[in-house]
């Protein structure tokens, strides 16, 4: 009887257009080869990623950046997932943040780097500069003034653009310029939709690079030798600024106890936007034991736009 009622609700949701099949980034477990819901993830202590700082060479610049490039100007980005670099299609900035053009010493590749003003000191500490060397601020501009600048992808050679992201771009870590791969991140995906970017995700069900990832990467495991290979390629190309072990919370498959990835796949989704108000009203009319359950499901329902159900 309970299962029949569930099927009845699902059928009504389908007929009302709340259930659809789409392709977007989801939590994916290479070890069990399936998509996972948030409730199926664990975040064990002690996970360490090889984070990297990378400099993308500017190809053309916005009007405000014209006095400082494009020749010799590089866009500094940071990521904890080097294996997503082959899928990079944009760099996003926060329009309201301050960004600085800084002169870099030869030990850091020379030329000029673009970085959030509040993170100049942090980047300096990661570059391993010699005694007496520093990043010298040449100019400071708003993020909105950088939009439209283009750069060359360090591995694929394609031209991509600096775009406006959102409030998810902060100065808590990194460089304030966010490496954007729409096929491998939720904010990246939303920014990609805004600018009509391709949903590139060159990774198969087993977590191995496909041919789309580029020369010498196909077949490599993105959480192992594939990650290392990308770092080595960036080092060879001269675009790698620094490698920095970074301990943070990272999602693991609760069944296999192995790391997951964020990957664009075709799945079934429930569009929460279509029934959010009704769901929140029903949650408020229900008695919850323990009471903390109501707060958790309310927060999830308020913040979700789509729910992966396959």
Instruction: Report the pLDDT value the prediction gives residue 69, as an integer from 0 to 100.
Output: 86
End-to-end CA distance of the chain: 23
For residue 151, give the nearest of 55, 289, 66 by alpha carbon.
Answer: 55
Q: Can you give the pLDDT at residue 219?
A: 97
Per the prediction, the chain carries an average pLDDT of: 93
Burial track 158-170 (b if 16+ CB lie within 10 A, e otherwise): eebbbbbbeeebe
How far are the Cα atoms of 62, 165, 293 from residue 273, in angstroms, in the given order? 37, 22, 21
Query: In this structure, are residues 294 and 285 in contact, taking their beta carbons and an 8 Å threshold?
Result: no
Residue 29 pLDDT: 97
In angstroms, the CA 30 to CA 21 distance is: 21
The answer, yes or no, to whether residue 49 has pLDDT greater than 80, is: yes
With beta carbons less than 8 A apart as the criterion, state whether 94 and 174 touch. Answer: no
Q: What global pTM score does this model have? A: 0.85
Q: Which of 82, 93, 95, 86 is nearest to 54 (CA)?
A: 82
């Amino acid at each position: 009887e309970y299962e029949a009622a569930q099927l009845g609700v699902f059928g009504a949701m389908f007929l009302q257009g709340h259930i659809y099949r789409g392709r977007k980034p989801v939590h994916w477990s290479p070890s069990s080869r399936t998509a996972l819901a948030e409730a199926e993830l664990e975040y064990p202590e002690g996970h360490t990623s090889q984070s990297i700082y990378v400099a993308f060479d500017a190809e053309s610049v916005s009007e405000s950046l014209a006095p400082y490039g494009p020749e010799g100007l590089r866009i500094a980005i940071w990521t904890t997932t080097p294996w997503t670099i082959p899928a990079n299609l944009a760099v996003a900035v926060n329009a309201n943040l301050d960004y600085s053009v800084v002169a870099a010493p030869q030990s850091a590749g020379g030329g000029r780097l673009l970085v959030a003003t509040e993170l100049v000191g942090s980047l300096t500490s990661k570059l391993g500069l010699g005694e007496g060397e520093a990043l010298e601020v040449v100019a400071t501009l708003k993020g909105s003034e950088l939009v439209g600048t283009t750069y060359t992808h360090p591995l694929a050679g394609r031209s991509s653009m600096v775009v406006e992201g959102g409030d998810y771009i902060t100065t808590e870590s990194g460089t304030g310029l966010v490496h954007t791969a729409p096929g491998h991140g939720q904010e990246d995906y939303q920014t990609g939709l805004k600018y009509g970017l391709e949903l590139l995700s060159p990774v198969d069900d087993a977590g191995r690079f496909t041919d789309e990832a580029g020369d010498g990467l196909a077949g490599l495991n993105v959480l192992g030798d594939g990650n290392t290979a990308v770092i080595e390629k960036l080092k060879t190309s001269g675009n790698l600024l620094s490698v920095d072990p970074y301990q943070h919370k990272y999602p693991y498959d609760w069944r296999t106890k192995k790391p997951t990835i964020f990957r664009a796949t075709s799945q079934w989704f429930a569009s929460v936007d279509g029934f959010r108000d009704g769901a929140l009203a029903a949650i408020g009319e229900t008695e919850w034991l323990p009471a903390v359950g109501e707060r958790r499901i309310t927060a999830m329902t308020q913040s979700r736009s789509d729910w992966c159900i396959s």
